Structure 1
Amino acid sequence: MFPLDWQKSSHSGEGANCLYIAAVPDGTVRIKESDDPRITIGVSQDAFRALIRGVKAGEWDDLV
């Protein structure tokens, strides 16, 4: 296994409930959260881009 360079979301601030992402050499993106950092999900770069576009467009604002 290779070490990943995890980056914390700039929207997480200094509090809990942080989201982390890392680019993987195989071209995928890994996502984990601070509640249980042992659990990660892997998605394609296209799926991650679609997620970010949806968040920025407010597609899931009604879930908050």
Structure 2
Amino acid sequence: MAEDPSTQYWYNMKTGEVEQGYVSSVVDRVGPFATREEASHALEKLRENSEKWAEDDARENR
């Protein structure tokens, strides 16, 4: 069974803080993450995903 997102960790893009549960508005948070540590590295993960998706798009459009 999947973890309840309301008890998982989120990264608040507005404040740069890690939060547990639905503390801030959905437009300000990314996640969920299983641990506080994972959430603290949210921006790195988002950058990695963006780079990967851009590479995938470039390959598909050749």
Larger strand fraction of residues:
1
Q: Greater RCO between the two (CA within 8 Å, min separation 6)?
A: 2
Larger helix fraction of residues:
2
